Amino acid sequence: MKTLLTSTFIFLVSIMTYSQNKLPYYEIPEAPKEFTEGTVTSRLIDGLGFRYYWATEGLKEEDLKFKPSKDARDVFDTVDHIFILSIMTLSAVEGTEMDFPEEGSLTFEEIRKQTLENFKKTSDILKSSKDLSKFVMKINRGNGKIEEYPFWNQLNGPIADAIWHCGQLVSFRRSAGNPLPKGPSFLTGKVNR
Protein backbone atom coordinates (compact mmCIF):
# COMPACT_ATOMS: atom_id res chain seq x y z
CA MET A 1 0.00 0.00 0.00
CA LYS A 2 2.84 2.37 0.92
CA THR A 3 4.53 1.67 -2.44
CA LEU A 4 1.28 2.40 -4.30
CA LEU A 5 0.85 5.72 -2.45
CA THR A 6 4.47 6.67 -3.12
CA SER A 7 4.15 5.79 -6.81
CA THR A 8 0.88 7.74 -7.08
CA PHE A 9 2.46 10.75 -5.38
CA ILE A 10 5.48 10.69 -7.71
CA PHE A 11 3.19 10.37 -10.73
CA LEU A 12 1.07 13.35 -9.64
CA VAL A 13 4.13 15.50 -8.95
CA SER A 14 5.48 14.59 -12.41
CA ILE A 15 2.22 15.63 -14.06
CA MET A 16 2.10 18.89 -12.10
CA THR A 17 5.72 19.66 -12.96
CA TYR A 18 5.11 18.90 -16.64
CA SER A 19 2.04 21.13 -16.81
CA GLN A 20 3.86 23.95 -14.97
CA ASN A 21 6.83 23.72 -17.35
CA LYS A 22 4.76 23.39 -20.51
CA LEU A 23 5.54 26.29 -22.80
CA PRO A 24 3.05 28.04 -25.06
CA TYR A 25 2.97 27.26 -28.79
CA TYR A 26 3.77 23.58 -28.90
CA GLU A 27 0.66 23.85 -31.09
CA ILE A 28 -1.33 26.88 -32.20
CA PRO A 29 -4.52 27.48 -30.21
CA GLU A 30 -7.87 26.99 -31.97
CA ALA A 31 -8.71 29.79 -34.37
CA PRO A 32 -11.28 32.39 -33.32
CA LYS A 33 -14.74 32.08 -34.86
CA GLU A 34 -14.82 35.58 -36.31
CA PHE A 35 -12.40 37.72 -38.26
CA THR A 36 -11.65 41.08 -36.63
CA GLU A 37 -8.57 43.24 -36.72
CA GLY A 38 -7.70 41.89 -33.27
CA THR A 39 -8.25 38.19 -34.02
CA VAL A 40 -6.35 38.33 -37.31
CA THR A 41 -3.36 40.07 -35.73
CA SER A 42 -3.52 37.70 -32.76
CA ARG A 43 -3.35 34.75 -35.17
CA LEU A 44 -0.28 36.28 -36.83
CA ILE A 45 1.43 36.33 -33.41
CA ASP A 46 0.29 32.73 -32.79
CA GLY A 47 1.94 31.69 -36.07
CA LEU A 48 5.11 33.47 -35.00
CA GLY A 49 5.02 31.79 -31.58
CA PHE A 50 4.58 28.34 -33.16
CA ARG A 51 7.47 28.93 -35.55
CA TYR A 52 9.69 30.24 -32.76
CA TYR A 53 8.83 27.28 -30.52
CA TRP A 54 9.94 24.79 -33.15
CA ALA A 55 12.90 26.86 -34.43
CA THR A 56 14.31 26.79 -30.89
CA GLU A 57 13.16 23.33 -29.75
CA GLY A 58 16.04 20.93 -29.13
CA LEU A 59 18.84 23.41 -29.67
CA LYS A 60 22.07 22.22 -28.09
CA GLU A 61 24.86 24.29 -26.58
CA GLU A 62 26.98 23.89 -29.73
CA ASP A 63 24.02 25.02 -31.89
CA LEU A 64 23.73 28.25 -29.89
CA LYS A 65 27.33 29.12 -30.77
CA PHE A 66 26.90 28.44 -34.49
CA LYS A 67 27.06 31.29 -36.99
CA PRO A 68 27.26 30.92 -40.76
CA SER A 69 30.05 33.46 -41.17
CA LYS A 70 32.36 35.52 -38.98
CA ASP A 71 30.26 38.66 -39.55
CA ALA A 72 26.89 37.05 -38.74
CA ARG A 73 25.08 36.80 -35.42
CA ASP A 74 25.32 33.40 -33.78
CA VAL A 75 22.17 31.43 -32.93
CA PHE A 76 22.12 32.62 -29.31
CA ASP A 77 22.37 36.29 -30.33
CA THR A 78 19.55 35.75 -32.84
CA VAL A 79 17.38 34.15 -30.14
CA ASP A 80 18.19 37.10 -27.86
CA HIS A 81 17.25 39.57 -30.62
CA ILE A 82 13.85 37.89 -31.07
CA PHE A 83 13.39 38.17 -27.30
CA ILE A 84 13.97 41.94 -27.51
CA LEU A 85 11.44 42.16 -30.36
CA SER A 86 8.88 40.26 -28.27
CA ILE A 87 9.37 42.77 -25.42
CA MET A 88 8.86 45.67 -27.85
CA THR A 89 5.58 44.25 -29.12
CA LEU A 90 4.24 43.23 -25.71
CA SER A 91 5.12 46.64 -24.25
CA ALA A 92 3.16 48.38 -26.99
CA VAL A 93 -0.01 46.33 -26.46
CA GLU A 94 0.26 46.53 -22.64
CA GLY A 95 0.95 50.27 -22.80
CA THR A 96 4.06 49.87 -20.65
CA GLU A 97 7.60 51.12 -20.98
CA MET A 98 9.99 48.69 -22.58
CA ASP A 99 12.02 46.93 -19.90
CA PHE A 100 14.97 44.98 -21.22
CA PRO A 101 16.97 42.64 -18.97
CA GLU A 102 20.66 43.25 -18.47
CA GLU A 103 22.65 41.73 -21.31
CA GLY A 104 23.92 38.25 -20.43
CA SER A 105 21.69 37.92 -17.35
CA LEU A 106 19.42 35.18 -18.76
CA THR A 107 20.09 31.66 -19.98
CA PHE A 108 18.87 30.36 -23.32
CA GLU A 109 16.07 28.43 -21.56
CA GLU A 110 14.94 31.56 -19.69
CA ILE A 111 14.99 33.67 -22.85
CA ARG A 112 13.07 31.02 -24.80
CA LYS A 113 10.40 30.67 -22.10
CA GLN A 114 9.97 34.43 -21.68
CA THR A 115 9.79 35.02 -25.44
CA LEU A 116 7.06 32.41 -25.86
CA GLU A 117 5.16 33.85 -22.90
CA ASN A 118 5.51 37.37 -24.36
CA PHE A 119 4.06 36.18 -27.66
CA LYS A 120 1.17 34.47 -25.84
CA LYS A 121 0.36 37.56 -23.73
CA THR A 122 0.51 39.75 -26.83
CA SER A 123 -1.79 37.41 -28.74
CA ASP A 124 -4.30 37.27 -25.87
CA ILE A 125 -4.46 41.06 -25.63
CA LEU A 126 -4.82 41.49 -29.38
CA LYS A 127 -7.49 38.79 -29.66
CA SER A 128 -9.98 40.81 -27.66
CA SER A 129 -9.04 44.17 -29.14
CA LYS A 130 -11.43 46.08 -31.37
CA ASP A 131 -9.05 48.96 -32.08
CA LEU A 132 -5.37 48.39 -32.85
CA SER A 133 -4.70 52.12 -33.20
CA LYS A 134 -4.51 52.43 -29.40
CA PHE A 135 -1.36 50.28 -29.30
CA VAL A 136 1.40 52.84 -29.71
CA MET A 137 5.04 51.75 -29.61
CA LYS A 138 7.20 54.15 -27.59
CA ILE A 139 10.96 54.00 -27.93
CA ASN A 140 13.16 55.92 -25.52
CA ARG A 141 16.08 57.20 -27.56
CA GLY A 142 17.78 58.78 -24.55
CA ASN A 143 18.17 62.43 -23.58
CA GLY A 144 14.44 62.50 -22.72
CA LYS A 145 13.47 61.90 -26.35
CA ILE A 146 10.69 59.34 -26.83
CA GLU A 147 9.64 58.40 -30.34
CA GLU A 148 6.12 57.10 -30.88
CA TYR A 149 5.02 54.79 -33.68
CA PRO A 150 1.52 53.58 -34.59
CA PHE A 151 0.65 49.89 -34.61
CA TRP A 152 1.37 49.75 -38.34
CA ASN A 153 5.04 49.94 -37.45
CA GLN A 154 4.66 46.93 -35.15
CA LEU A 155 3.58 44.87 -38.17
CA ASN A 156 6.42 45.86 -40.50
CA GLY A 157 8.90 46.34 -37.64
CA PRO A 158 9.25 43.98 -34.65
CA ILE A 159 6.65 41.39 -35.72
CA ALA A 160 7.91 40.96 -39.29
CA ASP A 161 11.50 41.12 -38.05
CA ALA A 162 10.86 38.31 -35.54
CA ILE A 163 9.35 36.14 -38.27
CA TRP A 164 12.39 36.86 -40.46
CA HIS A 165 14.78 35.85 -37.68
CA CYS A 166 12.86 32.62 -36.96
CA GLY A 167 13.64 31.66 -40.55
CA GLN A 168 17.29 32.43 -39.89
CA LEU A 169 17.26 30.16 -36.84
CA VAL A 170 15.90 27.30 -38.96
CA SER A 171 18.57 27.88 -41.60
CA PHE A 172 21.35 28.19 -39.01
CA ARG A 173 20.38 25.02 -37.18
CA ARG A 174 20.22 23.07 -40.46
CA SER A 175 23.69 24.35 -41.32
CA ALA A 176 24.89 23.32 -37.85
CA GLY A 177 23.60 19.76 -38.45
CA ASN A 178 20.55 19.93 -36.16
CA PRO A 179 17.48 20.38 -38.41
CA LEU A 180 13.97 21.02 -37.09
CA PRO A 181 12.38 18.16 -35.19
CA LYS A 182 9.88 16.11 -37.22
CA GLY A 183 6.17 16.58 -36.61
CA PRO A 184 5.08 20.23 -36.65
CA SER A 185 2.81 21.25 -39.53
CA PHE A 186 3.17 24.97 -40.15
CA LEU A 187 0.00 24.93 -42.25
CA THR A 188 -2.25 23.47 -39.55
CA GLY A 189 -0.35 24.60 -36.46
CA LYS A 190 -0.55 21.05 -35.09
CA VAL A 191 2.06 18.42 -34.36
CA ASN A 192 1.82 15.09 -36.20
CA ARG A 193 3.68 12.48 -34.20
- Domains of the chain, by residue range, sit at 37-191
| 102 has pLDDT over 70 | yes
| 1 has pLDDT over 90 | no
Average pLDDT over residues 85-98: 94
148 and 140 in contact (C-beta within 8 Å)? no
The CATH homologous superfamily of the domain defined by 37-191: dinb family like domain (1.20.120.450)
pTM value surpassing 0.95: no
Confidence of residue 98 (pLDDT cuts 50, 70, 90): confident
Nearest to 118 by CA among 81, 143, 67, 84: 84
pLDDT in tens, 152-175: 999 999 999 999 999 999 999 999
More confident position, 75 or 16? 75
> Which residues does 86 contact at the CB level (< 8 Å), separation at least 6?
114, 115, 118, 119, 122, 158, 162
Average pLDDT over residues 95-115: 92
- The whole-angstrom separation of Cα 102 and Cα 33 is 41
pLDDT, residue 3, reads 54
More confident position, 84 or 15? 84
Average pLDDT over residues 67-74: 93
| 10 has pLDDT over 80 | no
Confidence of residue 21 (pLDDT cuts 50, 70, 90): low
| 88 has pLDDT over 60 | yes
